Amino acid sequence: MDAAISLDQALDLTRTGDIWIFRGRSGPDRAIQTLTNSPVNHVGMSLVIEDMPPLMWHAELGKSLPDLWSGTFQRGVQLHDLRDAVTVWAHRYGQRGWLRQLDPGVTRPMEDKALKTVARLDGTPFPSSAQLAWRWVRGRVPQIRPRKWQRTPSPDQDDASLETAYCAEVVAVTYEDMGLLPRGRQPNWYDPGRFWSGDELELCAGFTLGDEIEVDVPST
């Protein structure tokens, strides 16, 4: 990988739809990495709307930062100030972070669709560890998927079936709503490793994700 860039540089570069991936060393982090056969265990997405500061759209178990959509501290699906979120993941959770940039940039209608997804999914609870493990397995063995999880490729389909959601599902569903990923896959097919460059995720309409750029987060 290339030399790291500063967090300030990353915040200046990032645009809506860019991917942030993280790798930690804790027991749960290692378990996710092993299960998904990838070096990463968390994924989020940038939202950069007009003159607002860059935001991070993701799901996590903690409630270290205020959710900027609801204005409360909550667990599960959250919208955070991007600088604060990356700093928390780097220093409080001990994670290394990388930025993957989406090319070309998204359109205003695509950003509007992303915001509609935020309105629909914000506050969705994070699954328990047992639910998380079972859903990863279920997403990889099609014949044991319950019928209630089956998704049809309808552009108007909502995600009411997401009673709980983890980070990769949130990013994948948002990408689907923006037209960046094809519909038809269940959300639990996605995990953080799907968004790592080694997985070669196929996007729609000529969009691509660049290689990982490591981000150096200063001490606070």
Q: Nearest 5°: phi and psi at 66?
A: -70, 140
Count of C-beta atoms within a 10 Å radius of residue 184: 12
- Tokens for 126? 């994070």
Cα diameter, the chain: 48
Q: Which fold has domain 5-216?
A: endopeptidase fold (from Nostoc punctiforme) (3.90.1720)
Q: Evaluate whether 180 touches 24 at the Cβ level (below 8 Å).
A: no
pLDDT of residue 56: 98
pLDDT at 150 (0 to 100): 36
Give residue limits of the domains in the chain.
5-216
pTM: 0.83
Q: How high is the mean pLDDT in each 10-residue block of the chain (220 residues)? A: 86 98 76 67 95 95 93 95 96 94 97 97 75 50 39 41 80 97 89 89 95 91
What gap in Å lies between CA 100 and CA 17, rounded to an integer?
9
- Report pLDDT for 126: 76
Strands, E, within the chain: which ranges?
Answer: 5-6, 19-23, 42-47, 55-60, 76-81, 96-100, 102-103, 208-209, 213-216
